[in-house]
Structure 1
Amino acid sequence: MLLLDRATELLLENRLREAEFMFKQVLKQNPKNGKALFGLGRICMRLEQYDNAIYYLKRACEHLPKMLDPLYALADAFIAVGSPVDAKTVLEYALSVAKHNAQIHYHLGQFYLDHGFIDNATQVFEKGLECPPSGVSVFMIFELMQLKPPSQIPALIQRLEDFENKYEHPKFQIIAYHALATGYQALGENEKAFEFYEKANRLQLAQCKFRTADMLPFFNRLLNTFDSAFFDKPTDKVQSTFTPVFIVGLPRTGSTLLEQILIQHSQVGTIGESIIVSDKIVPYLEMRTERPFPECSLEMSTSMLDYCRNVYVEEIKKHRVQEEVVINKLPANFQNIGLIYKVFPQARVIHLTREFMANAWSVYSNHFAEDEPYFCSLKEYQQYASIEEQVMSHFKPLMKRNIYSVTYEKLIEDPQRTVQKLLNFLYLKYEPECMEFYKSRSKVETLSKTQVRQPLHQRSLSRWKTFESFIEKSLDDQ
């Protein structure tokens, strides 16, 4: 038992190799030790060794039949290897053995939402609210506020009022405020809705450990590093079997919608909002050059560039993407464009923009899990949007052939022609299946997961106008 406890401690400290050794020592003594098998499965998940993770987690589930965490992890592993059917089977089995557990209802409901089974998600969340209440119940109410017709909103509001002052962590209160704001907005009580949006965002802003202004020195260094002299230097002639495509810009400008449209094309795949550039490539270059990003980009040797390309290729393989055009839709990659160009000179960058007021309101009125100031303050977001505009204005003339700009408004108002032009930019022919994106059951984890299951409509273009006076006052007051 001491060995198992120590292995668990090492895992929590992220000392994976030491933890792995100890878990395996436990299994030598008892090959059926479920906690050791679960520990090894968790290690494999962190190392992105998903096939090995499935092997260990299956065995862990056999020997820990009453524990839900191994089942959750097994479902995640199946999703990671592109097997949502198996993940669905695991989660539905978990529900069958824990019918009175709100957490499994939430997990399964989220799975249904991610894969476009909206009615199933609604039913599971409703059943989940019949379980003994817990923090996750607030999250289910929040989801139902967005799924239910206005006639059923008052009952959900009452449920939230019953929870008042019972939250164990600020994140639950933040979600509750967002849920109330969503509900009152659906009921047309806009002043009350804005009041709760303000409460939610102020509380979340209080959790943030930095401000947007703190990022200015970094972005100044970014622009100074990736100057015209950087782009004047010759690039490697890269022989690649795929074309990397990066959808960049501000959040809530339509990146998920565009991704879902494009991946209906027979030659386009996606690795989603992958942080591979900032999470693996940048740290590698910083380590090799002993210089921080972005300055490390000035000292990349041919062997370093080859390594970076291989890291990216391995990421694509992990996602089991085989199409010749591969999308990475992480909006924040706008700060990595210079590095991306150096690693992949043939990369195509699609820059999405949106009218500021509509965009700012879409961010402010949605809940982002990350405690970052521009997600929860209109003034902070205005500053972040200004930074993004400055960065993209810097790169566009330096990468004229690699960057294509498109507005969210044009995508909504004239989708077919806009998509035809985009595909031409990617050297692909138009396929009509692209416009039937809403029928897809591909996984979507972003805030737009329900919107992209519907045909295009123009309601989102003017939704913000109801709150125009509130937005303007907020921008002026802060």
Structure 2
Amino acid sequence: MVSTDNTFIRQGLLAIQNKQYRELYDQAIARIRQDVADAPAYFVLAKISADHNNHAKALELFEKASALAPENAYCQAYYAQTLTLSGDQIKAKHQADRCAGLKIEDHHIADMLGVIYTRTGFHELAVPWFKKSVALNPNVANYHYNLGASLQFIGDFDGANAAYTACLDLDTTHYRALASLAQLTKQAPSSPLLTRLKAAFSRTTGDADAQLHLGHAVAKCLEDAGDYPDSLNWLHKAKASKHGAISAVNFNDIMAGLKTPSTDPINSGIQESPIFVVGLPRTGTTLVDRILGSHSQVYSAGELSLFGNLIKQAAKTPSNLTLDSDTVAAAANFNSETFKQIGREYLALTQELSRGAARIIDKMPLNFLYCGLIHQALPNARIIALRRNPMDSCLSNYRQLLTTQQAYY
């Protein structure tokens, strides 16, 4: 008999929060010995694996729990979340859709679904779930922040302002919400928000992430006021703590490997021609994407991590980085059948995203790193590489608060 009762899952999540791993692990194993189809036991083992950074095992176990308990919101939502963390955004979107079809009355699961939809690029689908999480539990500041971020993304600035304000009413130290307020409107030189941001920056010395967000917000206010020298000084201050951090990515080795001459494109027989728009961030990729996407037979699928993930899966390298020197070295030795399979999988996984159009656009800027490999796997693909004046590119990226969740930025 398949067990789908959530009691053990909730107890397990609490025990994991308290780092009671050994006892919980033993309980889960005992449950599986009694019933090999015990979904909550696999769920708990998956969460333990995730907590110990064994992401591949966590994904495997969450997938099993999901298959055993298709009506269990915990099993479905956590599997979708793990897919997003592994970079498989297309599969994560499909999994989130399945979960969204269930009866969700847990505020945490509702918020989780919203986050998954934002990570997969569907903010319009995220908003209703964030609104539901707020309705189910209005006392969690971060639920209001998540709602505000998605409302801001879809252009509802009044709604975003209300959500960020509600967040700060619950937690005056929520620096992301405070910093986000600066992005909603042009700030006047005498803006009281500027005073609040500077005070918050002073209070967060030692917190590199807080300094980054708050400092960028101060710089934005000063730029709005036309004080460009001081704005640039605040960008320096914002990035100072992060500047000394060691990158997890060895770009010298990666670039050296990618420059290795490749063989001629493979005649894979694949006729479909996806369009890749690549380049450094802030070089015009979004503008070109919108121009092309206005054509009736072209649909923009957004910034997909799919191609890089397929290369990583085929390389079978052990690190949790999508692209590293070992993966580049492994890809250099792919045979023709491996490239053909990567091409077929890419087209199959993106077919639904085309919305019936003849071509899709994959607008992930960092795919410039994969141009040679795209040429091998999808010889009929069109690659549009954006180049901008180097100084303009550097300054524009420096002014942009890029995600710190991806080491490549």
Instruction: Report if TM-score (shorter chain) is over 0.5.
Output: yes
1:284 aligns with 2:321: no
Greater shift in the superposed pair: 296-305 or 249-258: 296-305
State the alpha-carbon separation in 2 of the partners of residues 218 and 143 from structure 1.
35
- Select 1:174's aligned residue among 179, 202, 212: 212
For the 8 Å contact 1:204–1:371, the answer to whether it is kept is no
- Select 1:239's aligned residue among 266, 270, 273: 270
> 2:361 aligns to what?
327
**How do 1:22-33 and structure 2 match up within 5 A?**
none
**How do 1:146-165 and structure 2 match up within 5 A?**
146-151=183-188, 154-163=191-200, 164-165=202-203
State the alpha-carbon separation in 2 of the partners of residues 107 and 225 from structure 1.
45
TM-score, with length taken from structure 2 = 0.73
Point out where structure 2 has 5 or more consecutive residues left out of the alignment: 1-7, 9-23, 29-40, 318-324
- The secondary structure found in structure 1 opposite 2:155 is coil
For the 8 Å contact 1:7–1:23, the answer to whether it is kept is no
State the alpha-carbon separation in 1 of the partners of residues 46 and 335 from structure 2.
40
1:39 shift after superposition: 3.9
Assess, with a 3 A threshold, how the Cα gap between structure 1 residues 85 and 187 changes in structure 2: closer, same or farther: closer
1:263 aligns with 2:293: yes
Identity of aligned residues (%): 20
- The secondary structure found in structure 2 opposite 1:243 is coil
- Amino acid of the residue matched to residue 160 of structure 1? L
State the alpha-carbon separation in 2 of the partners of residues 172 and 78 from structure 1.
25
1:132 shift after superposition: 2.7
> 1:74 aligns to what?
113
Assess, with a 3 A threshold, how the Cα gap between structure 1 residues 209 and 330 changes in structure 2: closer, same or farther: same
> 1:381 aligns to what?
none
> 1:370 aligns to what?
404
State the alpha-carbon separation in 1 of the partners of residues 365 and 333 from structure 2.
26
Higher relative contact order (CA closer than 8 Å, sequence separation 6+): 1
- The secondary structure found in structure 1 opposite 2:149 is helix
TM-score, with length taken from structure 1 = 0.64
1:224 aligns with 2:260: yes
- Select 1:199's aligned residue among 237, 253, 258: 237
For the 8 Å contact 1:82–1:319, the answer to whether it is kept is no
State the alpha-carbon separation in 2 of the partners of residues 94 and 373 from structure 1.
30
- Select 1:87's aligned residue among 118, 126, 129: 126
- Amino acid of the residue matched to residue 235 of structure 1? I
Assess, with a 3 A threshold, how the Cα gap between structure 1 residues 21 and 149 changes in structure 2: closer, same or farther: closer
State the alpha-carbon separation in 2 of the partners of residues 79 and 162 from structure 1.
30
For the 8 Å contact 1:80–1:319, the answer to whether it is kept is no
State the alpha-carbon separation in 1 of the partners of residues 197 and 281 from structure 2.
28
1:103 aligns with 2:103: no
> 1:350 aligns to what?
384
> 2:36 aligns to what?
none
Instruction: Output one character per residue of 1:165-224: Cα deviation in whole Å (capped at 9) or x when no partner.
Output: 24684211211111111112222223322221111222221223368xx52343233223
State the alpha-carbon separation in 2 of the partners of residues 86 and 374 from structure 1.
27
- The secondary structure found in structure 1 opposite 2:244 is helix
State the alpha-carbon separation in 1 of the partners of residues 302 and 213 from structure 2.
25
1:316 shift after superposition: 0.7
1:308 shift after superposition: 0.6
Point out where structure 1 has 5 or more consecutive residues left out of the alignment: 376-478
- Amino acid of the residue matched to residue 277 of structure 2? I
- Amino acid of the residue matched to residue 73 of structure 1? M
